[in-house]
Structure 1
Amino acid sequence: MQNSSLNKKYGFSSENSKIFPLMIVVEITNVCNLECIHCPYSFISKDKNYRPRHMEMETYKKIADEVSEHPGSIFRLLCDGEPFCHPNFIDMLKYAKSKNISPINFITNGLLLDNAMARSILDSKVEVVEISLDAINKDTYDKIRKGSNFDTVMNNVHEFIKLRDSIGSKTKIFVSIIQQPESENEYDSFVDYWTPKVDKVISRPLTSIGGLVNIPRKNVPTSDNRWPCPQLWRRLFINVDGSAEFCVEDWDNKTIVGNIIDSSITEIWQGKEYTDLRELHLAGNFDAIPYCFKCQDWQARDWDYNYFHALNEVLNETS
Structure 2
Amino acid sequence: MQLKNRLLRKATLIATGNKKIRNLIERSQISMDFPAHLFIEPTNICNLKCRMCPQAEPSDVKRGLMDFPIFKKVIDESVTHGRRMSIFFHKDGEPLIHPQLFDMISYATEKKASYRTHLSTNAQILDEEKSEKLVLSGIDSVIINIDASKEDTYRLIKGKNGLSEVEKNVKYLIKQRNKSGKAKPMIRVKIISVEENRDEIPDFRRKWKSVADEVVVSSEFLWPGGKTDTADGTTSSIDRYPCISLWLSMVINWDGSVSACCIDYYHKELIGDIKKTTLEKIWRGAPLQKLRRGHLLGQYEKTGICFKCRGLWVRDTLGIDSEKWLITKMKAGGLWDE
TM class, shorter-length: 0.7 to 0.9
Q: Is the 8 A contact 1:90 1:121 kept in 2?
A: yes
Per mean C-alpha deviation after superposition, the further-off stretch among 61-70 and 242-251 is 61-70
Residue 191 of structure 1: aligned partner: 205
Distance 1:57 1:143, change over 3 A: same
Q: Match of 1:283?
A: 297
The answer to whether the aligner puts 1:74 opposite 2:86 as a matched pair is yes
Equivalent residue number for residue 201 of structure 1: 215
Give the partner amino acid of 2:73: K
Which residue number corresponds to residue 100 of structure 1?
112
Q: Distance in 2 between matches of 1:118 and 1:53?
A: 23
| Residue of structure 2 equivalent to 1:144 | 157
How much has 1:145 moved relative to structure 2?
1.1
Structure 1 residues 286 and 72: alpha-carbon distance in aligned structure 2, compared to 1, 3 A threshold: same
Q: 1:33, 1:147 within 8 Å by CA — same for their partners in 2?
A: no
Q: Deviations over 1:236-262 (max 9, x none)?
A: 111111111112222221100111111
- One-letter amino acid of the structure 2 residue matched with residue 156 of structure 1: N
Q: CA deviation at 1:104?
A: 1.1
Contact 1:30 1:240 in 2 (8 A): yes
- Give 1:305 shift: 5.9
2:261 is the alignment partner of 1:247: yes
Shift of 1:228: 1.4
* Unpaired runs of at least 5, structure 2: 1-22, 319-338
Structure 1 residue matching 2:32: 3-state secondary structure: helix
Determine if the alignment matches structure 1 residue 13 to structure 2 residue 24.
no
Letter in 2 for 1:266: E
> How big is the shift at 1:80?
1.4
Residue type at the aligned position of 1:121: L
Amino acid at match of 2:85: S
Number of equivalenced pairs: 289
SS, match of residue 224 in structure 2: coil
Matches within 5 A, 1:149-168: 149-168=162-181
Which one-letter code corresponds to 2:190 in the other structure? S
Task: Tell me the secondary structure at the aligned position of residue 250 of structure 2.
Answer: strand
For 1:36 and 1:175, how far apart are their aligned partners in 2? 16
Unaligned residue ranges in structure 1 (runs of 5+): 1-8, 307-319
Which residue does 1:87 correspond to in 2?
99
CA contact 1:77–1:106 (8 Å) conserved in 2: yes
Query: Relative to 1, partners in 2 of residues 1:161 and 1:236: Cα closer, same or farther, differing over 3 Å?
Result: same
Shift of 1:148: 4.3
Give, as a single letter, the amino acid of the residue that structure 2 aligns with 1:210: P
The equivalent position to 2:143 in structure 1, one of 130, 152, 174, is 130
Question: Do structure 1's residue 118 and structure 2's residue 131 form an aligned pair?
Answer: yes
- Whole-Å Cα distance in 1 between the matches of residues 236 and 154 of structure 2? 27
Q: Which secondary structure does the structure 1 equivalent of 2:197 belong to?
A: helix
Query: Residues 305 and 273 of structure 1: is their aligned pair in 2 closer, same or farther, counting only changes over 3 Å?
Result: closer
Distance 2:313 2:203 in 1: 25
Give the match's secondary structure for 2:142: strand
TM value normalised by structure 2: 0.78
* Equivalent pair of 1:142/1:149 in contact (CA under 8 Å): yes
Q: Which amino acid letter does the alignment assign opposite residue 44 of structure 2?
A: N
Alignment correspondent of 1:315: none
Q: Is the Cα contact below 8 Å between 2:84 and 2:112 reproduced in 1?
A: no
Given the alignment of the two structures, is residue 258 of structure 1 paired with residue 269 of structure 2, yes or no? no
Q: CA RMSD in A?
A: 2.5
Q: Distance in 2 between matches of 1:150 and 1:178?
A: 15
Take 1:169 and 1:148, find their aligned partners in 2: how far apart are those partners?
A: 32
Per the alignment, do residues 51 and 290 of structure 1 end up closer, same or farther by CA in structure 2, a change over 3 Å counting?
A: closer
Contact between 1:125 and 1:169, CA under 8 Å: does it hold in 2? no
The aligned counterpart of 1:172 is: 186
Q: Could you say if the C-alpha distance between residues 181 and 161 of structure 1 is closer, same or farther in structure 2, counting changes exceeding 3 Å? A: same
Does the 8 Å contact 1:20/1:70 carry over to 2? no
Q: Hey, what's the Cα distance between the residues in 2 that align with 1:288 and 1:122?
A: 44
